[in-house]
Amino acid sequence: MANIYAIKARIRGVESTQKITRTMKLVSTSKLHQTQGQLYRLGSFADKCRQSLRLVLTGLEGEEDCPLLQSRAVGRVCYVLFIGNRGLCGAYNTDVLRYLKGLLHREETEYFTVLCGRWSGEHRTDRELRVRQCFDDISDVPRPEECKALSNYLQELYLSGEADRIVLVYQRREALGQKPCRFQLLPLEQEEGESRGGDCIFEPDRQTLVNTLSRMYVDNSLMKVLLEAKVSEHFARMTAMTNATDNAEELMRELSLSLNRTRQAKITTEISEVVGGANALRNGD
């Protein structure tokens, strides 16, 4: 009897856990669709903003023309790590943190890090990371004002000279899975195949466009990376909760089979006892 009650209690516990994991899967799926929609709408605009900035930078002379994007000797590097708001997302947080530490081990100059995500609170005191600031109020579906606060902080770091290079570290979803990667936000890197200008008329003037587009480039590039990181996080959590739900279903089948076997054994034992008792009474008569 005790075994049957224990198995039934275990089945009820697994059923309760399965309801939680299924609900978390649905929530993650909903947030994934929201962030994917934002990323789809922003992605093309961010790319065009970068191309436009490259176009107006053509022909400018002197680094003072564009202080936000000017290249200079690298004395200190700022790494911005985008990490999850919580756990239960498989190896998402562990993988991106391990990737960052691999970059830090190879870094030959002075560095510090800025952490983005509520899970970053566990790593504030990590001496290896040298955490300068934590932005732990970024929601699961990022809002523009949250990204703007981070963007203003990073721009101030670069303009004040506290950081000579700013690198974003995050995890991006790809066709065959998810992959940690890096993206240099400041200064702007030249990529092969990018357009280097043409016959254009600038209104009001080229310098004004540079100042405007440079800040738009930083804001939109940062928002795009933030959305890509959130899409990867929600996808990882959805996958983890799907696996947990499937495992709970499989465990419930095994427990039900064990319950049926235990119940059948109990019934068989009781029948044997009844038959044995009847035979004993018959022999006694």
Please write the tens of the pLDDT for every residue from 123-144.
888 888 888 999 888 888 888 8
Strand-pair partners of 123:
none
Tell me: the pLDDT tens digits for 155-201?
999 988 899 899 999 998 877 778 899 999 888 775 554 545 556 67
CA distances in angstroms from 173 to 32, 49, 105, 119, 243, listed in the order given: 12, 23, 25, 20, 18
Q: Is the pLDDT of residue 266 over 90?
A: no
Q: What is the predicted pLDDT for the residue at 63?
A: 47
Closest CA to 207 of 71, 72, 64, 46: 64
Mean pLDDT score, 233-251:
92
Percent of the chain with pLDDT over 70: 92
> Tell me, what DSSP letter sits at residue 67?
T
182 vs 130: CA distance, rounded Å:
18
> Tell me, what DSSP letter sits at residue 236?
H
Q: What is the predicted pLDDT for the residue at 62?
A: 46
CA angle 35/40/46 to nearest 5° reads 110
